[in-house]
Amino acid sequence: MVADTWLEQLHDNGYRVTAARRAVVDTVHSSTHALTPIEVYDQARKKYRVLGLVTVYRTLEKLEELHLIQRVHQPQGCQAFISAGIGHQHLLLCKNCGDVAFFEGDDLDALTASIAKKTGYQIQEHWLQLFGLCGKCK
C-alpha cells in the first residue's frame, strides 16, 4: 500500500503509527474525492470499527501539518480534504460527481508580473482551481 509513505512520515516526525491512524490514512490516501471529516469517519470505520470522530479530526490535522493533505475550497463549503499531490499542483473538480484531478504546468508569471505592476503588490503565491465536468460526466 502506497499509504505507507504517509505512515512513515508520521513516524519520522515523532508521531506514533496506530491502527486508528492507519484507517484514516488509508481512507484519505486512496480517495479521488475530497472527503469531509464525517465522510472520512464513515469510511474509515469500515476498516477500524472503534475509531472515534475526534481521532479523525486529530489525524487530519497532523496530515495537513505535514503537507500530505490539503483542504479543498468549494462553493458548498471548505471542510473537505484530499491528498496534497506532489510539488506545485492545482485541482480540477468535477461539479457533477465530485471527482478531483490534479494538474501542474500553470505558468502565471506573465499574469502576476502585470498585476504586480498595476496594483503595486509584491505577489508571493497563487491559488488556482478549476471546475468542470470529468470525462464520465460530460
Partner DNA sequence: TACTTATTGAAAATGATTTTCAATAGCGAA
Partner DNA sequence: TTCGCTATTGAAAATCATTTTCAATAAGTA
- Classified as helix, coil or strand, 17 is coil
Q: Identify residues 41-70 at the interface with DNA (CB under 7 A).
A: 48, 50-55, 57-59, 61
Name every residue whose Cβ is closer than 8 Å to that of residue 13 and which is 6 or more positions away in sequence: 66
- Tell me the window of 3-11, 16-24, 37-45, 128-136 that interacts with a second copy (CB under 8 A): 128-136
The Cα-based distances of 90 to 4, 67, 94 in angstroms read 24, 14, 14
- Closest separation in Å from C-beta 17 to a second copy: 28
Q: Identify residues 68-87 at the interface with DNA (CB under 7 A).
A: 79
What grid cell was written down for 133?
465536468
What grid cell was written down for 110?
506573465
Q: Which is nearer to a second copy, 4 or 61 (CB)?
A: 61
Chain residues binding DNA by CB under 7 A are 11, 14-21, 36-38, 48, 50-55, 57-59, 61, 79
